[in-house]
Amino acid sequence: MAYGLTHKSDLQVVAMQVCDCLGHGANGKAIDLLLETAGAETSRGLTRDLSMGAGMGITQIDKLPFQDIKDRCRHADKVSIYDYFDIDLDLVEWEHLRYNPLLCFIFTRLKYKKIPEAIPIKMEDRAKYWKQYYNTVEGKGTQEHYIYENLRFA
């Protein structure tokens, strides 16, 4: 395991806690989306991060999106995070995400919360959602890769 994980079941627990704090989404699929994002980005921690300039942590959050999420985070979400996890989001730096799946999932969930479109119910649709809103059109990831990586954990 990598990215600060000690056991593969840790991710499920952390995803559940983050969604209990920040919401499960209108369709109740936020946990799936967080786990699948980690699947597409790092095979849920099985693929070690050998690059020092790309995304950070288990969900490979890039520096500019990290700062945008931090700058535009709703006050209510900051309060919820502080109350639930005792984490002051204003003190978190991008580098802190490298070995901290909890922080990665918090920032990933906050990024997805900014999207007005509901998290899709089906994995195939979540792959498209991830590509459009998380990986971006310019990103190297594909919907097929997202699905392939995540079917390994189904």
Q: Give residue limits of the domains in the chain.
A: 10-151
- Determine the number of helices (DSSP H) and then strands (DSSP E) in the chain: 7, 0
Count the Cβ atoms, other than its own, within 10 Å of residue 145: 16
pLDDT confidence of residue 154: 75
Query: Tens digit of pLDDT for each residue in 15-56?
Result: 999 999 999 999 999 999 999 999 999 999 888 766 666 789
Query: Tens digit of pLDDT for each residue in 53-95?
Result: 678 999 999 999 999 999 999 999 999 999 999 999 999 999 9
What pTM was estimated for this model as a whole? 0.95
Which residues in 31-43 are b (16+ Cβ under 10 Å) and which e? bbbbbbbbbbbbb
* 137: alpha, beta or left? (left if phi > 0; alpha if psi -120 to 50): alpha
> Do residues 123 and 150 make contact, with C-beta atoms less than 8 angstroms apart?
yes
pLDDT at 11 exceeding the cut of 90: yes
pLDDT confidence of residue 70: 97
Residue with tokens 């119910």: 121
Query: Tens digit of pLDDT for each residue in 100-124?
Result: 999 999 999 999 999 999 999 999 9
pLDDT confidence of residue 52: 61
Mean per-residue pLDDT, 132-150: 90
Token pair for 102: 């909890």
